Structure 1
Amino acid sequence: MYKKQFEIRWSDVDANGHLANSAYTNFMSHARMSFFGEHGFSMPEIRKYNVGPVVFYEHMYYFKESFIGAPITVTIEVSGLSEDGMLFMFKHDFYNENGDNLAYCEMQGAWIDLKARKLTALPKPLLSLAEKFPKSEDFKILTKADTRKHGVQPKPLSVQTI
């Protein structure tokens, strides 16, 4: 399990004085990029291959409040990866200094070719690194069907909804 520690800043709290939902997203993103960097996927390295990560969804569950100045720890477990490395899934947990679980998030994403602007398999050197990621106990091989598990599809905007 990968861990990254943060301190809640003034800009991380909302009108209620507790950690804002957008801050959870920012902390997860920062933790993921640190995780990637420490596993050979630094920004300069992935740019060599012209790929970048994209998020499909982040599904959050909130359990306890946290406030400005409090230290928090964000954990990451890799819970899914497709055979070609295109798709990935992470579990994130947020903990306070007492070890209380503040929130949980399941996140799914993929790699995109930055020129073609389309999803792409990882190049072999990156795939071999990704296959070595530490994995969760419930790790699974992802398929494209897993990207539609919630049944959400794009829908056109109708004139009536404008």
Structure 2
Amino acid sequence: MANFSLPIQIRWADIDQNRHLRHSAYYDYGAMARMIFLSEHGITTQKLELLKIGPILFREEAVFKREITLDDKLTLDVELIKATKDFARWSLRHNFLKLDNTLAANVTVEGAWLDLEKRKLITPDEYIQSIFSEFPRAATFEWIIREEKKA
């Protein structure tokens, strides 16, 4: 699967009192890019409704490297950095890149799949697994080895 890059237009409402991008906007832009990316690759909201599942996040972390101001031109990407072999658990990273390719920030999320009726974590079906297996991977990608639960 080809790398994914989304141009971001900074909105006035996303600028804080210090005249740079407010911290919570990074998470909003990451969520937007993530859902556009999933949808463009077949994991649409309609497909998720049909499967009665949804992505759920356990952790979301932003690391800020450079200021982003209203006039900055940005692109935002998404890459798989960790996953279990069945893609039941995964970590994605979004890199906020300025026009000159300077890394301004990254947002990392750790997630899984939730059965929307049973409200329990599940292993996704082969459809979701096949799409996730083709995601762009970080150079540092690693497989997550899950420990067996003890009785």
Taking only aligned residues, the RMSD between alpha carbons, in angstroms, comes to 1.5
Quick one: percent identity of the two aligned structures? 28
For the residues of structure 2 that align with 1:96 and 1:69, how far apart are their CA atoms?
A: 11
Q: Which of 25, 31, 45 is matched with 1:23 structurally?
A: 25
**Equivalent residue, structure 2, for 1:111:** 113
What is the SS of the residue equivalent to 2:107? strand
Unaligned runs of 5+ in 1: 146-162
Deviates more, 1:97-106 or 1:27-36: 97-106
For the residues of structure 2 that align with 1:136 and 1:100, how far apart are their CA atoms?
A: 17
For the residues of structure 1 that align with 2:83 and 2:54, how far apart are their CA atoms?
A: 16
**Equivalent residue, structure 2, for 1:131:** 133
Q: How many residues align?
A: 145
What is the TM-score with the length of structure 2 in the denominator? 0.88
Question: Radius of gyration: which is bigger?
Answer: 1
Q: Is the Cα contact below 8 Å between 2:80 and 2:93 reproduced in 1?
A: yes
For the residues of structure 2 that align with 1:8 and 1:131, how far apart are their CA atoms?
A: 32
What is the SS of the residue equivalent to 2:86? coil
Shift of 1:18: 0.6
**Equivalent residue, structure 2, for 1:159:** none
Q: Does 1:14 align with 2:16?
A: yes
For the residues of structure 1 that align with 2:128 and 2:77, how far apart are their CA atoms?
A: 22
What is the SS of the residue equivalent to 1:67? coil
**Equivalent residue, structure 1, for 2:65:** 63
Report the residue type matching 1:84 in the other structure: D
What is the SS of the residue equivalent to 1:11? helix
What is the SS of the residue equivalent to 2:78? strand
What is the SS of the residue equivalent to 1:47? helix
**Equivalent residue, structure 2, for 1:4:** 6
Report the residue type matching 1:106 in the other structure: T
**Equivalent residue, structure 2, for 1:100:** 102
